[in-house]
Structure 1
Amino acid sequence: MSPEALSELISTIAHSLVAVGKAGALTDDLVPPVAKLAVMRPKDRAHGDWASNAAMQLAKKAGMKPHDLAELFAAELAKAEGIASVEVAGPGFINITLDSASAAAVVDAVLDAGETYGKNDHLGGETLNLEFVSANPTGPIHIGGTRWAAVGDSMARVLEANGAKVVREYYFNDHGEQINRFAKSLVAAWAAAAGLGERGYCVETPCDGYKGAYINEIAARVSKEAERDGVSLAALQHADQGLNEKGEPLGEGDSEVREEFRKRAVPMMFDEIRKSMKDFRVRFDVWFHENSLYDSGKVGKAIEELKSRGDIYEKDGATWFESTKHGDDKDRVIIKSNGEFAYFAADIAYYWDKRHRSDNPADVAIYMLGADHHGYIGRMMAMCAAFGDKPGENMQILIGQLVNVMKDGKAVRMSKRAGNVVTIDDLVEAIGVDASRYSLARTDYNSPVDIDLNLLASHSNENPVYYVQYAHARSCNVDRNAAASGITREGADLALLDTTADGEVLAALAQWPSVLREAGDLRAPHRVAHYLEDLAATYHKWYNVERVVPMELTEPEAQGEQAEALRVAKAPEPARAAARLKLNDAVRTVIASGLDLLGVIAPEKM
């Protein structure tokens, strides 16, 4: 019996107690929805298969002592089919022990549902716009963006498993000063390689520019592409030479050579980023360009919308958003006194666009931002409220913490292309996609994480992704051995799954639906990884003591506690062997499903 089924049974009992007048002042309208009636696994299995604090939840509303109300629940629960015993513990906990057949029913539930076991539609009807990674197109994806790629894609998969419609979105910051610095860095690299310093070109990387071998690579590619197209970069004017039509020195905004690099290099970086994401098994539905907000006039329209709502004012020649009206610590400039848009103006337009698109308008806009964006939360939520939306509901902001890459106990800077940072390609080259994605997704994004390259490149039980993948491969091997021995699932008697180890695996399988639901509601894909590790540990323990295929032990093998346990359980009767094979296959199904939600392969052999 699943926790959901128990919650429903407890809800039915609550309404029954109200109907017969035993539940004090409790009325039908005071009984919470089934989803709010907690059913959980006791920390100590001696306390039963499941526990509920429903009586403690409802006692105050009923005007009764929690223990007294729990006794009423216990008496009714004990009558239900599939429940072996019920006890009331402490101030009012209800501890429930299932009979073997009921506990084992989860096996058929898993095998019947296959990969859809645990998936639900409780977030159905909502369109969630999930924006993640969103690195500037000025270089390769660094390790922080790599973490968001792993977490964001896993979160999208988890939300979809809970019935939500998810629009995965990447926001290209291709407007503003960072693009100008990128272009200047490329021009300097090209000029240095071409020996153009004596012609007035700056051949040193600007102090606020971008460094790394990738700059030289992109500069060389732009030069080659321009030459192919018949464009002489050296013949173009740049900021340090030439006069405009009025005879005045050319300024930075008039740099033809810089513009040539910008228009050619930025798409090259877009292509690299797209390829890196695809290779990392991350897909996006929308690749949104910041520049499009300006080109389409959406920035101005969004500001006009706020003005119509009374949240825009003029001061000192600038245009301000009165964000303090909506909880921010200070008002924000959105148009500077020189007429240029402040960066926040694009944020305003971008949120408005997400919520009012003709195609897939977002009910909820989820932003996944780095730790350096923590100060943006106040102004973003104020802007959400100014548009008449609910902060924390229509707009949700998730802040990720830092990633440290370690080797031999020391932080490493191993990038060959990007200087002193670690990129997504560096990490994948070192430990592979599976280990990279799993290690980054298994830790709560609210916490810093250390990536141990030595550990994640090893094939040991200390490596969490190997540990889980090995459980799947081992379950596949059990299937192969069973087939070779003529053992099938025919004639299985699930009531024979009655050992302690059987019970631990059954209980773990029954938890998967609630884990998946919580992972979606809490925006916490790391809960999937933690569950998989617990399930794998339970399965490995079960494998070592309960046999599907008989094992013959030779004298050298018949040594130690493990050999003794294997000897005892080496030859189960056919009905028990078939039941264990079904249990094995149920574990394989859930592990494969869980790994898929994290974008990790479930191997059949290792």
Structure 2
Amino acid sequence: MLSSVRSAVEAGELSVPVPGQATVERPKNRDHGDWATNVALQLAKPAGMPPRKVAEIIAARLSEVPGVASVDIAGPGFLNITLDAASQGALARTVVEAGRDYGKNDAFAGLKINLEFVSANPTGPIHIGGVRWAAVGDSLGRILRAAGADVTTEYYINDAGVQISKFGASLLAQAHGRPVPEDGYVGEYVADIARQIVEAKPGVLDLPEDEQLEVFRAEGLALMVAEIQRSMEEFGVHFDVWFSEKSLHDSGAVEKAMDRLREQGHVFEQDGATWLRTTDFGDDKDRVLVKADGETTYFASDAAYYLNKRDRGNEVCVYMLGADHHGYVGRLKAIAACAGDDADRNIEVLIGQFVKMLKDGQEVRMSKRAGNIITIDDVVDWIGVDAARYALARSNTDSTLTLDIDVLTSTSNDNPVYYVQYAHSRMSSVNRNAAEMGVDKGSAEDFKPELLVHEREGELLGALAEFPAVVASAAELREPHRVARYLERLAGTYHRFYGDCRILPRGDEETNDLHRARLWLAEATRTVIANGLDLLGVSAPERM
């Protein structure tokens, strides 16, 4: 497309800068061609010409491109492009030969992104909201890497402050058989951890009370972090960095951060406290860094943590936070602005809504182990890793999500992960059957793409062609659900192709070039589904 624009410019037919990109989409009505673009409307104003005149110039150039059968102008200047069968069918070979690389792009090449997600307090198991971010965050990291970005995935361990002290006191109370302090932590897991500490530290209960408390705080924190790490790894989520909030205080990074912000002119003293003037950058109120009693706030840690991320060379810092953290958006962006960064570019804050789970039509609210929350282990026990990851990643995080356990454990088309995985296993079955029959798709040189002229074949080729653009848009918009929804459409398109286009010969029928061409097409589809599922951290089974 852009080469045709460039040739028109070089020939003096258009006087415009050649755009860096042009929108090319599959038309909803395939009677309108294989591809459609509005590039003529995009260039009309800078060219000083009516859109249809620009469209005529570009259409003439496009018509000369090998493989283009026709170019029609529609409406005010839309271009509808139809490819010949050989050019369209050749995509199957392109996909198979690219393999795992099909769908990747270099849109974010060289861009270093820090992606922080989950980051739940290490005072209990990961709850259902954190599970959503685990699935979405890990998928987003994979998609951004597929777009060429250098991504560091990170978990921020909130191991400093009041909540950790309450956790330690709750463990100590459990160990002594005393009531848990007010606002403390309850649930079987608290008793389990307290029991583990007593077993690992004989004599701990004979220490002075303050020393006992410190042992239970430190050991309980270590055990809880190890438990979270285990849960994440079993859920298929790997973090490149586990970052300790406490390390910011121990290293003096918090004080250094406040000094840097003071040098920028945004720190002031009032009522005995130290503040950051975040209202200068859109926050609803200024934020306290150090209280009047000398206690450093969580906000001071947030500021130090952001600066630490930037000092590590991260150009974009992405925070993925729960629905109860809406208030953090303005203050985090204000930190970036106070530090002299571009708050619209160097920092992004994504907010995810709540998740509900249903069983037998009723909402499930409680965990056997945690008492008052649903944990990641509960979710995995109920529906499995693949179903959980897919179901949690397939919906826009802006909306509340309801997961039906009965649907997600069913082997029916109502279960979206089953529907997509079944398409992959069906294609794998075709390959096994072909091997048993001695049917081979042949070499790339023997492939005859011009034979793929059936309507269903055209639909499937068109769907395969969309995958790179889907990956690119999912990366650009930070929306992994686009990949999942695409896979469901692709699976449906394949199932229709499978029903209408016989792939393998029957009975004594000789294997012909059409059989082999369809094997290439089926293998291309299997490749794309496997690649898409991998971006979501979901397996692509060969048998179901």
Alignment TM-score, normalising by the size of structure 1: 0.87
CA shift at 1:18, angstroms?
3.0
Distance in 1 of aligned mates of 2:528 and 2:149: 21
391, 401, 404: which one aligns with 1:452: 404
CA deviation string 1:407-438 (max 9, x = no partner): 22221024111112111000000111000111
Partner of residue 533, structure 2 = 595
Code of the aligned partner of 2:68: I
**Code of the aligned partner of 1:401:** Q
Partner residue, 2:8? 17
1:68 to partner: Cα distance: 2.5
1:158 counterpart = 2:133: no
Matching of residue 435 in structure 1 with residue 387 in structure 2: yes
Q: Which residue of structure 2 lines up, in the alignment, with residue 468 of structure 1?
A: 420
Aligned to 1:187: 172
Q: Which residue of 1 aligns with 2:496?
A: 541
Tell me the SS of whatever aligns to 2:254.
helix
Residue 32 (structure 1) aligned with residue 7 (structure 2): no
- Give the conservation status (yes or no) of the 8 Å contact 1:492–1:577: no
Specify whether residues 496 and 573 from structure 1 end up closer, same or farther in structure 2 by C-alpha distance, changes over 3 A only: farther
Greater relative contact order, per chain length (Cα 8 Å cut-off, separation 6+):
2
Q: Show the counterpart of 2:111.
A: 126
- 1:266-320 alpha-carbon deviations (Å, 9 max, x no partner): 1000110010011001101111010000000000000000111111111110001
Could you tell me how far 1:573 is from its partner in structure 2? 5.8
Native 8 Å contact 1:182 1:209 kept in 2? yes
Q: In 2, distance between residues paired with 1:148 and 1:298?
A: 28
Structure 1 stretch displaced more, 117-126 or 272-281: 117-126
- Aligned amino acid, residue 307 of structure 2: W
**1:210-221 to 2 correspondences below 5 Å:** 210-221=185-196
Shift of 1:258: 1.7
The CA deviation at 1:12 is 2.3
The residue identity in structure 1 corresponding to 2:325 is H
2:273 corresponds in structure 1 to 318
Aligned partners of 2:149, 2:10: CA distance in 1, in Å?
36
CA distance in 1, matches of 2:509, 2:411: 31
1:348 match: 303
SS in 1 for 2:326: helix
Deviations 1:77-124 (CA, angstroms, capped at 9, x unpaired): 222211111111122211111110000111111111111112122211
In structure 1, the residue matched to 2:160 is: 175
Deviation string for 1:180-200 (max 9, x for gaps)? 1111221222222xxxxxxxx
Partner Cα distance (1:481, 1:544) in 2: 16
* Residue 372 of structure 2 corresponds to residue 372 of structure 1: no
The aligned amino acid for 1:535 is L
| Structure 1 residue 531 corresponds to structure 2 residue 486 | yes
Cα deviation, 1:500-524, whole Å, max 9, x if unaligned, reads 0000111111111111111111111
Deviation at 1:548, TM superposition (A): 1.4
In 1: Cα distance, 2:89 partner to 2:80 partner = 18
Secondary structure class of the residue paired with 1:416:
coil
Measured in 2, the distance between the counterparts of 1:406 and 1:420 equals 16
Structure 1 residues 572 and 207, CA gap change in structure 2 (3 angstroms): farther
Which residue of 484, 500, 503 corresponds with 2:436?
Answer: 484
Question: What displacement does 1:20 show?
Answer: 3.7
Deviations 1:153-172 (A, max 9, x none): 11111111111111111100
Residue 272 of structure 1: which of 217, 224, 227 is its match? 227
Q: Give me the CA root mean square deviation.
A: 1.4
SS at match of 1:17: helix
Distance in 2 separating the partners of 1:541 and 1:210: 53
Aligned partners of 2:361 and 2:38: how far apart in 1? 45
2:282 maps to which of 305, 318, 327? 327
What is the alpha-carbon distance in structure 2 between the residues aligned to residue 212 and residue 317 of structure 1?
40
CA distance in 1, matches of 2:510, 2:214: 75
Cα deviation, residue 372, structure 1: 0.9
Aligned residues of 1:515 and 1:528 also touching (Cα < 8 A): yes
Partner of 1:237: 208
Structure 2: gaps (5+ residues): none
Secondary structure of 1:147's counterpart equals: helix
Letter in 2 for 1:429: D
Alignment check: 8 A CA contact 2:7 2:61 kept: no
Paired letter, 1:599: G
Q: Is 1:73 the equivalent of 2:58?
A: yes
Q: Distance in 2 between matches of 1:411 and 1:118?
A: 38
Q: Deviations 1:113-143 (Å, cap 9, x if unpaired)? A: 1111121222111111111110111000001
Q: Deviations over 1:203-248 (max 9, x none)?
A: 2223311121111111111121221xxx241x3333xxxxxxxxxx
Q: Supply the AA of the counterpart residue of 2:528.
A: V
Distance 1:350 1:581 in 2: 53
Letter in 1 for 2:2: S
Match status 1:514 vs 2:469: yes
Structure 2 distance, partners of 1:314, 1:514, is: 51
TM-score (norm. length: structure 2): 0.97
- Is 1:48 the equivalent of 2:33? yes
> Is the contact between residue 264 and residue 340 of structure 2 (CA under 8 Å) also seen in structure 1?
no
Q: Which ranges in structure 1 are unaligned for 5 or more consecutive residues?
A: 1-9, 193-202, 239-254, 553-569
Match of 1:287 in 2: 242
**In the alignment, which residue of structure 2 is the partner of 1:100?**
85
Contact kept? 1:492, 1:576, Cα under 8 Å: no
Given that 1:442 and 1:530 are in contact with CA atoms closer than 8 Å, whether structure 2 keeps it comes out as yes
| Superposed CA offset, 1:342-367 (max 9, x none) | 1100000001111113xxx2111111
Matched, 1:501 2:456: yes
CA contact (8 A) 2:456 2:496 kept: yes
